[in-house]
A and B are shown apart, each in its own frame.
Chain A
């Protein structure tokens, strides 16, 4: 039993279809519980006041934004090396989700920055990195849209994803060099006490779990849609050829 069996489009849909409602349900449950817990049942932080509570949206969306791109990179590599169609379509399906997550991270960052730093936008290296990441998502999605042939589009976007990843990493380093920034350090680390207290940490983890489930559910669903679209296209073309 090899993991690559799930790269068969039919097997992929058959396997993931029952999972999707559970993932959605889990996502909604976790996000609702996490947000209510975080918004109403935790004390205001000493330094930040109640504004700190936006981390329950900001941190999970930012994590998904970055890891979504990494997932696309892995999927692109799998497509380039093993030519599994599902892999290419999963990368395509993940891009708009990751892009929206990047937007949410940027938006909540701005909303948080306003009371904290007194400005909606600062050219802080973390925010700037996310803005650049957003541009990369935009280019990737635009390239998919521009190429009619699906295999060619998959090949070209995969190469773009590879090259883009290198330059995104370089940009991150460049941006840190360019401006040291106002942003506080990483919110989460293995040593939780160093950064934030347990009262905030637990609901945050619940929210993160919710966002991960939401990402998984959306990507599985969108990949299924892409597979069905390709199948529809294949059937239409077969019918055309039969009629000719």
Chain B
């Protein structure tokens, strides 16, 4: 059902875990749907995502998309990260089963959520 790349990202995910000193956090999804994705970021004053991590409750596709999405935004500017679409995430994974595409949408939303929270919460304090 899953390709090798998805299985690899699932069994050995990049950037998994909580980040204590994150200044941007975004959570999307809910437990009753079976997916929750939480993204942590450390964004520098000039808007570069210096570090990123995730915690995900969900299926293998949700964990694999969390892994590649966090890898894709690491080192990018906020503007660049906001341009990442779920399509690119699916391409990066070499495809997902049709019923799992929503996981990639969740990943895109989680990135946006984290950045939007950063922009509203942290920038206004500066």
A and B co-occur in one complex = no
- Chain A residues packing against B (C-beta within 8 Å): none
- Chain B residues packing against A (C-beta within 8 Å): none
